[in-house]
Chains A and B, each alone.
Chain A
């Protein structure tokens, strides 16, 4: 009777995923996005999707929404006019940053645009010391004078970041109260609210980005709420965050910076759920779109959180899934550079005019064109017949590169795939070997429009034994919205040695975080039995400056807890760096608490085995160029939606579906599991 719906709003399409709680049935719907007012596309998608199953908004028990509104506003610099209040002497910190130039060798590279112009950055006398004691009290009169000066500037938003604001919040809180009196209409972000962590520039940058985006997000959410109410939605909708969880609209409106990297996060959440259901604990996700690939590593079903990322040059401290992005996708352009080597990406053809094979005027071959030439992609039409392609144009464009390289056209097309695969492998090495994980212990889960197309070759490059292609690879983010919990992360920096002298402070620190979490649980109306809290501590050897995250055992903080933390830290340090520094003091840096409100999630039901014979799903045969044979090989072509559980496909073969194409190499088999995932393995 009740349906759950996930709506993922992207640049081109808005994907809708519906789930019937009773039957376990999943339905997918796609509508065009409406970039001028994304909320229209969303409500259209919801209404049309529900129409397909004969339901209305009143039948919904859950609506989860993923959006790139904040991300796009940041990239396109469409935030609001923002002011900044900082400690005396530090107004230019925002511009100086970490003092490094953006590119070591390219002198034309620019720093990111300043989100607050220099005249709107105001200093006030105040200063804390490193231990949180007050060196100079906040000069309230000076603050009021600065605010009055800003009042005439028509700012819509104001960021406040004082040195050591994470340690002693007194001055920032006072400033917030004064601002509320002087500039009551203005959106305010304070650093201790947004990112209460050590290192002033990154905290400042995060606070400023949040202020810059705040009013944009508030406006978007207000409008979307109205539109959803108009179509009769009665429940409170949820929004995704960069940590992979969802959160109520009102909380999201105050912390838009936490959604900036939410785009790929729900895809990882879906991969996690699908892996768990199908019996894969250790997964590397591989999400390939038109311009980039996102990869993440799930150990024992869990993707680590990371605390900091760089978004278009702006450092952002916020809890986010550790997803690594590389500029390699279907639209990545191949060229031969002045030294005669074949390069692919990061430049991309984008959606318009797109790859050469679209016939819309491009002449530079892309990865998609190489796949058309090789015929791994359907050389006549793609997207389930929605789009005709011109293989002849793709061949011409690849031939031009072949002439420069002195290779033939097929070798060159295959070369484009090899080079882009190497770029993707490099991204996976960053999240695996560089973090002490061996990719051979992981299965590769491929999704996004082009993931399954490249997965087999990538797995081979990294010696990974299995590839999982989920049933709906093109809409996994929308599906992920149905599989995630409500989630908020709280953090507080406490630089203390890991010895008994710190017990009281650490206990108090976690108590503080639990108090914040309790308030959040109440605000989100999450029942007591659905509240789950997980604690971690970021630690390092005293003197180091990068921390490793270690799980804190349940129960009160005692000497035993610290013993467990010490062991956990040493194990993590050995895994990451290959050694333990005997006798060195370990230091606690940041305490973290993850609060999850467990929601009823979509539950899939396994389907009975229908035997290995896949012939009923075969829709044809086509010659596909395979590097192994250095020639075209006849490949059976299967329709994904006709494959049944238990079916086995012998490579070489191609599996087509509306949103993607899967390549099965000559020495591989593809088998369909009871959840309709396609599992590729090297033949025994």
Chain B
């Protein structure tokens, strides 16, 4: 099809249509969460919804999981690479999850995309991704071990389900009942989007809606450029350590952030890709970079394709930060979180007093899987928050997710009903925060008891390194794992016996500013509340408690 002519549009209509587009993606998000079955989506909201324009650029995205800023980016180009435009019809639904051929970032994030046609022309794409909690207990030497790989394929052709394809997919899933239900919820979210966008085009005309979409991207670009322009030109460098309980030995990641006028180059460097599920596909790196820059420079910039225009992001091909086939990518969130730390660290030099200390820097994952008496498998995945970094002017938040993730916990009362697990403790960890004029947030301890035999996998980092403080603030405590046996914190996967107790302690957030400047009243309150022990307070602040 030919692209509609570019039309002039006033800023008020742009804002009015922008509100309507935002309503649509939010409605999609709610529909997806509410109709889904798996705990990871329905309670933990590990999913995202978006509209892409007819060229495949992000138009509008609901606020769920920043990591998904990347899970989407490659999808429409991947579809277009496999299918002729003339062959794409209303009612087609494309499904993809592969990091190399599917435009996604790791296999559990399954993307469904449906083209939206108005008067025979493609105007936009309804797209959503949901993290299907499946493909557990796998190897990660390369991507072939990590689950079924799906390039863009048509799950529906003009509204008709491809049953064979669906059966093939479900047979490769450990919990097929959840997968089919979640797919249904994803379908229903996209259908709503298609309907709503068509209604909007009926009201305003497709050309005006598209013009507003273009204007919204230009608008995001202008805001981004205005914010970059305010940073002094120069190169700001930072390096940090990356480690994982699933990989022996620490690695060094580096970034040079170069600001020139209203443009920014983020040049990353890291070691060669590893035979472990820790590698980042390029779009994961983009998601991490976009998120961090937006959050520091202007949190209100719309998360559409316009925000990326002034940014250039590079990393050596074949490195852990920009991996090549067949590198495994399942746990890409761990290194992505360190990428956000890198960018924060570099921007702190560019914008002193505007950036917080390092947060817990993890997206600590706990995965339990087993089978019931009939051999049906169950998989339970959760991620655990930790401390947020101390901010210039305020203590860090305790027990939160930082960076690219922001999933909810599962209520204990739901967890224990659905899985043979008992949660014994869920608490903030005393003395886990980095101290300073402003204290970091506290890390979290979660203690589980397995009621039946099952397999337990932990994915964590900051085991050997610590979240750093800023401007004189001290670093926080890192991760510790206790498997109830002789294993150390560097173990990754273990078999649990009934009654076995395991414990995960996540890092706190780094401190900000010289501890000597912390007011005595704040120190005494921390001691009274048990957040900081009297011994540590004495050692750090010299305060005689």
Contact = CB atoms under 8 A, between A and B. Distances in A.
B15 A422 contact: yes
Nearest to A541: B37
A591 B294 CA distance: 45
Interface string B18-32: 111011000100110
A560 interface: no
A543 interface: yes
Interface in A122-139: 129-130, 135
A130 B35 contact: no
Interface stretch (B87-95, B112-120, B295-303): B295-303
B16 A418 contact: yes
B178 A543 contact: yes
B529 A200 contact: no
Nearest to B221: A339
Contacts of B411: 198-201
Given A200-B411, A544-B37, A99 B399 contact: yes
A163 interface: yes
A89 B425 contact: yes
Contact of A105 (B11, B196, B295): B295
A601 interface: no
B15 A343 contact: yes
Interface in A101-126: 101-108, 110-111, 117-119
Contacts of A91: 427
Given A99-B399, A544-B36, A579 B409 contact: no
A343 B19 CA distance: 11
Interface string B155-196: 000000000000000000000011001001101100110001
A557 to B, nearest CB: 23
Contacts of B10: 407, 415
A341 interface: yes
B388 A101 contact: yes
A341 B398 contact: no
A101 B408 CA distance: 9
Contacts of A411: 12
A103 B402 CA distance: 10
Given A96-B444, A101-B401, A201-B411, A422 B20 contact: yes
Contact of A100 (B16, B22, B220, B401): B401
Contacts of B417: 130, 495
Given A339-B223, A341-B11, A426 B22 contact: yes
A371 to B, nearest CB: 16
A581 B184 contact: yes
A101 B223 CA distance: 24
Interface in B36-62: 36-39, 42-43
A200 B12 contact: no
A616 interface: no
B182 to A, nearest CB: 10
Contacts of B23: 426, 429-430, 433
B400 A119 contact: no
B424 A579 contact: no
Interface string A195-228: 0001111000000000000000000000000000
A576 to B, nearest CB: 8
Contacts of B227: 338
A342 B36 CA distance: 37
A376 B356 CA distance: 47
Contacts of B181: 541, 543, 581, 584
Contact of A434 (B27, B299, B424): B27
A105 B299 contact: yes
B222 A340 contact: yes
Given A90-B427, A105-B294, A579-B184, A544 B15 contact: no
B33 A546 contact: yes
Nearest to A339: B223
B300 A545 contact: no
Given A105-B294, A429-B23, A96 B299 contact: no
Contacts of B409: 96, 98-99
A546 B412 contact: no
A612 B531 CA distance: 73
Contact of B426 (A96, A340, A429): A96
B385 interface: yes
Contact of A544 (B35, B203, B298): B35
A293 interface: no
Given A100-B408, A341-B219, A434-B30, A89 B15 contact: no
A249 interface: no
B530 interface: yes
A343 B181 CA distance: 40
A107 B295 contact: yes
Contacts of A342: 11-12, 15
A591 to B, nearest CB: 17
A677 interface: no
B413 interface: yes
B300 A426 contact: no
A339 B401 CA distance: 30
B15 A419 contact: yes
Interface in A284-303: none
Interface string B375-416: 000000000110011010110011111100011110111101
A423 interface: yes
Given A340-B219, A415-B12, A545-B43, A92 B20 contact: no
A281 interface: no
Nearest to A429: B23
B226 interface: yes
B519 to A, nearest CB: 17
A197 B43 CA distance: 16
B448 to A, nearest CB: 11
Contacts of A198: 411, 413-414
B349 interface: no
B66 interface: yes
Contacts of B22: 426
A95 interface: yes
Contacts of A199: 411, 413-414
B406 A100 contact: yes
Contacts of A111: 397, 400
B426 A89 contact: yes
B528 interface: yes
Interface string B290-322: 010011101111000000000000000000000
Interface of A: 88-93, 95-108, 110-111, 117-119, 129-130, 135, 163-164, 198-201, 337-343, 405, 407, 411, 414-415, 418-419, 421-423, 425-426, 429-430, 433-434, 463, 495, 541, 543-546, 576-579, 581, 584
17 contacts: A92-B427, A92-B428, A100-B408, A104-B66, A107-B389, A163-B413, A338-B223, A341-B18, A341-B219, A415-B12, A419-B16, A429-B23, A433-B27, A434-B31, A579-B187, A579-B188, A581-B181
Given A129-B416, A495-B417, A579-B184, 13 more contacts: A99-B385, A99-B409, A101-B401, A101-B406, A338-B223, A339-B219, A340-B11, A341-B18, A405-B11, A407-B10, A429-B23, A545-B43, A546-B33
Ranked 4 nearest A-B pairs via Cβ: A89-B425, A96-B399, A105-B299, A339-B223
